[in-house]
Structure 1
Amino acid sequence: MRGEVLHYDQEQGFGFITGADGKRYTFAREDLRREMALARGAEVEFQPNGDRASNIFSVRARMAGPADGAAPATAATAELPSSAPVAPTHFGRNAENEATQSTGLWSYFWRGLTTNYVNFSGRARRKEFWGFCLFWTIGLVVAIGVGLSVDLSRGEGGGDEPIVMLGLICLFFLLTFLPWVSLIVRRLHDLGLTGWLAILCFVPYVGGLATLVFALIPTQAGDNKWGPVPAGVRF
Structure 2
Amino acid sequence: ACDVFSIRAQTASPPAAATAAPAQTANAPGAPQHFGRSAGNGPAAATGLWDYFWRGLTENYFNFAGRARRKEYWGFCLFWTIALVVVVGAGLFIDDTMGDPDGSELPVVTVGLCGIFLLATALPWIGLNVRRLHDIGLTGWLFLVVFLPTIGWLIILVFALIPTQARENQWGPVPTGVGI
**Range 104-113 or range 154-163, more displaced:** 154-163
| C-alpha distance 234-151 of structure 1, shift in aligned 2 (>3 A) | same
Please list the CA deviations of residues 34-80 of structure 1 after superposition, one character each: whole Å capped at 9, or x if unmatched: xxxxxxxxxxxxxxxxxxxxxxxxxxxxxxxxxxxxxxxxxxxxxxx
How far the C-alpha of 1:206 sits from its partner, in A, is 1.1
Residue 82 of structure 2 corresponds to which residue in structure 1?
A: 138
C-alpha distance in 2 between matches for 1:231 and 1:180:
20
Q: Which amino acid aligns with 2:158?
A: V
Question: Structure 1 residue runs of 4+, over 6 Å off?
Answer: none
Please list the CA deviations of residues 101-120 of structure 1 after superposition, one character each: whole Å capped at 9, or x if unmatched: 11110000001001111100
Aligned partner (choices 144, 153, 161) of residue 216 of structure 1: 161
Q: Which amino acid aligns with 1:84?
A: P
Residue 28 of structure 1 corresponds to which residue in structure 2?
A: none
Aligned partner (choices 147, 152, 158) of residue 207 of structure 1: 152
C-alpha distance in 1 between matches for 2:157 and 2:179:
22
Please list the CA deviations of residues 123-148 of structure 1 after superposition, one character each: whole Å capped at 9, or x if unmatched: 00000000000000001101100000
Contact 2:69 2:132 in 1 (8 A): yes
**Which has the larger strand fraction?**
1
How far the C-alpha of 1:86 sits from its partner, in A, is 2.5
Aligned partner (choices 97, 101, 107) of residue 157 of structure 1: 101
**Which has the larger helix fraction?**
2
C-alpha distance in 1 between matches for 2:122 and 2:41:
25
C-alpha distance in 1 between matches for 2:34 and 2:173:
15
Residue 132 of structure 2 corresponds to which residue in structure 1?
A: 187
| C-alpha distance 221-92 of structure 1, shift in aligned 2 (>3 A) | closer
- The count of corresponding residues between Structure 1 and Structure 2 is 154
Contact 2:52 2:72 in 1 (8 A): yes
The 5 Å alignment of 1:53-132 reads: 83-88=21-26, 95-96=39-40, 98-132=42-76
RMSD: 2.2
| C-alpha distance 218-138 of structure 1, shift in aligned 2 (>3 A) | same
TM-score, reference length from structure 1: 0.61
How far the C-alpha of 1:210 sits from its partner, in A, is 1.1
How far the C-alpha of 1:92 sits from its partner, in A, is 8.4
How far the C-alpha of 1:98 sits from its partner, in A, is 4.1
C-alpha distance in 1 between matches for 2:122 and 2:98:
30
Residue 13 of structure 2 corresponds to which residue in structure 1?
A: none
C-alpha distance in 2 between matches for 1:124 and 1:180:
12
* Amino-acid identity (%): 57
Q: Which amino acid aligns with 1:87?
A: T
TM-score, reference length from structure 2: 0.78
Q: Which amino acid aligns with 2:169?
A: N
**Range 119-128 or range 149-158, more displaced:** 149-158
Higher relative contact order (CA 8 A, sep 6+): 2
**Range 150-159 or range 222-231, more displaced:** 150-159
Query: Which consecutive residues of structure 1, in runs of 5 or more, have no partner in the other structure?
Result: 1-82
How far the C-alpha of 1:173 sits from its partner, in A, is 0.7
